Structure 1
Amino acid sequence: MATDAKRSKQDNGASAQNPGEDKTLQSFLSWCKEVRLELSEKVYVSREGTVADYGMLAREEIEEGEVIFSIPRAALLNQSRTAIHSILEKEEESLKSQSGWVPLLLALMFEYTNSKSHWSPYLSLWTDFRALDHPMFWPKEERERLLQGTGVPEAVENDLANILKEYNDIILPFIQSHREVLDPQKHTLELYQSLVAFVMAYSFQEPLEEDEEDEKEPNPPMMVPMADILNHVANHNANLEFRTDSLKMVSVKRIKKGEEVFNTYGELANWQLLHMYGFVESYPSNTNDSADIQMATVYKAALQAARTESERSLVVEKWDLLCQLDIVGEEGAFVFGQSGSLTDEELYTSLKVLCMPVEQFKEFKENEGWEEAEEDDEDEMAAALSNDGIPKLSLPWRRLLGDSVALTLQDYADELQPDKELLGDRQAYGRLSSRERLALQLRYGQKVTLHQLLELTRCHSV
Structure 2
Amino acid sequence: MRRPYSGPEAATATATATASCRRRLRAFKRWMRSQGIECSDTLGLRVEEVEGNGIRVIALSDLQEGDAVVRIPKKCCLTIKTSGARSLIESAGLDGTLGLCVALMFEKSLGHRSPWFPYLHLLPAAQSIPLLWTLDQLNSLLLGTELHKIVKEDKALIYEDWQECILPLLDSAPLTIYEELNPDFFSVEEYFAAKSLVASRSFEIDDYHGFGMVPLADLFNHKTGAEDLHLTSIFLPLVHVSDAEDNLKRDEYEMTDDVEENHGLDEYNNSLDAEQLTQKSQLRQGSCGNKWECSSTSEDEPTVLEMIMVKDVKCGAEVFNTYGTLGNAALLHRYGFTEADNPYDIVNMDLELVLEWSSSLYSSRHSRRRLALWRRLDYSGCVSQNSEYFEISGNGEPQVELLILLYIISLPDEPFDQLDLTVSSTEENLNEWLSIILEKGGYIQRETAAEMSKDLLLTRSVCDALLSLANIRESFFGSNSLEDDMEALNKCCCIKERELYYSLILRISERRILEKLRIYAAESAQLSATGQSKRASTMRKKMKTRR
Normalized against structure 1, the TM-score is what?
0.81
**Whole-angstrom distance in 1 between the partners of 2:427 and 2:410:** 14
Contact 2:145 2:506 in 1 (8 A): yes
* Alpha-carbon offset, residue 454 of structure 1: 0.9
Contact 1:280 1:441 in 2 (8 A): yes
Contact 2:349 2:390 in 1 (8 A): yes
Match of 2:461 in 1: 396
Contact 2:398 2:517 in 1 (8 A): no
Q: Does 1:350 align with 2:405?
A: yes
RMSD across aligned positions (CA): 3.2
Match of 2:369 in 1: 317
2:482 maps to which of 387, 408, 416: 416
* Alpha-carbon offset, residue 229 of structure 1: 0.6
Match of 1:294 in 2: 350
175 and 399 in structure 1: CA distance in 2 versus 1, 3 angstrom threshold: same
Q: Does 1:436 align with 2:491?
A: no
What pairs up with 1:134-145 in 2 under 5 angstroms? 134-145=129-140
What pairs up with 1:11-410 in 2 under 5 angstroms? 12-14=16-18, 22-48=22-48, 53-92=54-93, 95=94, 100-115=96-111, 116-129=113-126, 132-178=127-173, 179-206=178-205, 220-243=210-233, 244-281=302-339, 283-284=340-341, 286-306=342-362, 309=363, 312-322=364-374, 325=378, 327-328=380-381, 331-341=387-397, 343-344=399-400, 346-356=401-411, 357-363=415-421, 365-366=423-424, 371-372=429-430, 389=455, 393-410=458-475
**Whole-angstrom distance in 1 between the partners of 2:330 and 2:427:** 33
Which amino acid in the other structure matches residue 327 of structure 1? S
* Alpha-carbon offset, residue 352 of structure 1: 4.0
Contact 1:176 1:184 in 2 (8 A): no
**Whole-angstrom distance in 1 between the partners of 2:33 and 2:374:** 57
Deviations 1:168-223 (A, max 9, x none): 11111122111334243442111011100111111112488xxxxxxxxx984211
Contact 1:237 1:254 in 2 (8 A): no
Contact 1:353 1:361 in 2 (8 A): no
Note the residue ranges of structure 1 that are not aligned, 5 or more in a row.
5-9, 209-217
Which amino acid in the other structure matches residue 128 of structure 2? D
Deviations 1:82-108 (A, max 9, x none): 11223333333xx26xxx322111111
127 and 407 in structure 1: CA distance in 2 versus 1, 3 angstrom threshold: closer
* Alpha-carbon offset, residue 342 of structure 1: 7.5
Deviations 1:381-436 (A, max 9, x none): 9x956xxx59x82222222222211111111122222223444xx4x335983222
Match of 2:122, SS state, is coil
Deviations 1:297-349 (A, max 9, x none): 1222222232xx4xx412122224545756147712211222455744x3344
**Whole-angstrom distance in 2 between the partners of 1:120 and 1:374:** 62
Deviations 1:111-152 (A, max 9, x none): 0110201011111113521xx222222221221111111122
**Whole-angstrom distance in 2 between the partners of 1:204 and 1:11:** 32
* Alpha-carbon offset, residue 438 of structure 1: 1.4
1:456 maps to which of 520, 529, 541: 520
184 and 368 in structure 1: CA distance in 2 versus 1, 3 angstrom threshold: farther
Which amino acid in the other structure matches residue 420 of structure 1? M
Match of 1:265, SS state, is coil
Note the residue ranges of structure 2 that are not aligned, 5 or more in a row.
5-13, 234-301, 436-448, 532-547
* Alpha-carbon offset, residue 292 of structure 1: 1.4
Contact 1:327 1:349 in 2 (8 A): no
80 and 107 in structure 1: CA distance in 2 versus 1, 3 angstrom threshold: same
Q: Percent identity?
A: 25
Kindly tell me the number of residue pairs found equivalent between the two proteins.
419
